[in-house]
Amino acid sequence: MYTPATRLLTLLHILHANPGLNANDLAERLEVDSRTVRRYVMLLRDLGVQVESDMGQGGGYRLIRGAVLPPSLFSRDELVVLLQALETIDPSESDRQATVESLKLKLNLLLESV
């Protein structure tokens, strides 16, 4: 089950990995409608994430080149160990699977920035 916070982090990850996707493509990946994608983009901007949008044919959303994520307090090795530890959690035994998935997403974003 996805929460708005998880979808927002997922959107950030998608924009980082796949710049230039349009609202319809993002909506499909996030399992929401394109209007919700536009709201999420506005939320990211409100949080200080620099998101650029191009209108029209071939347009889409992308993170502004040089935009950085907040600095991490963890080293690269520490992030890898945390991700490995999360992989050992059996989804069928955890009532917090959405939280685990959210943590994985956040840690992967941090890992890409260090």
Angle of CA points 7, 70, 2, to nearest 5°: 10
The ranges assigned to domains in the chain are 4-63, 76-113
pLDDT at 12 over 80: yes
pLDDT at 36 over 90: yes
- Contact between 55 and 61 under an 8 Å Cβ cutoff? The reply is no
**Whether CATH 3.40.640.10 fits 4-63:** no
37-52 tens-digit pLDDT? 999 999 988 888 889 9
71-109 tens-digit pLDDT? 567 788 988 999 999 988 887 776 778 888 888 888 887
* pTM attached to this predicted model: 0.61
- Contact between 32 and 57 under an 8 Å Cβ cutoff? The reply is no
Longest dimension (CA), the chain: 47
pLDDT at 32 over 80: yes
